[in-house]
């Protein structure tokens, strides 16, 4: 699941300088998602998270993710 999420994110954010998905509990359903991308520069946090949420809408809708923490950063 971690690798799957990472590849979804890399496809959605090809310009990202960092994409990292961590299984926080080892149970395969609590994830920390970290994305650093120039696309986030100057964007409010809400919009940054919205982009990540949108990118992960399909895996999220599968019901296999119980919890997702998001950390986003711009590069500026």
Residue 67 within binding range of other proteins, rule CB under 8 A: yes
Most distant pair of Cα atoms in the chain: their distance? 35
Residue 52's H or E segment, with its range, is helix 45-55
Give the per-residue contact string, 27-56, with other proteins (x = CB under 8 A; - = no): ------------------xx--xx--x---
Nearer to other proteins, 22 or 53 (CB): 53
Sheet order of strands, 30-36 included: 18-23, 30-36, 67-73
**Toward other proteins, which CB reaches closer, 3 or 46?**
46
């Amino acid at each position: 699941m971690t690798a799957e999420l990472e590849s979804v994110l890399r496809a959605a954010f090809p310009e990202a300088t960092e994409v990292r998905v961590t299984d926080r509990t080892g149970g395969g359903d609590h994830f920390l998602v970290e994305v650093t991308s120039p696309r986030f520069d100057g964007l409010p946090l809400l919009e940054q998270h919205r982009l990540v949420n949108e990118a992960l809408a399909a895996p999220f809708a599968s019901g296999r993710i119980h919890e997702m923490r998001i950390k986003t950063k711009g590069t500026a």
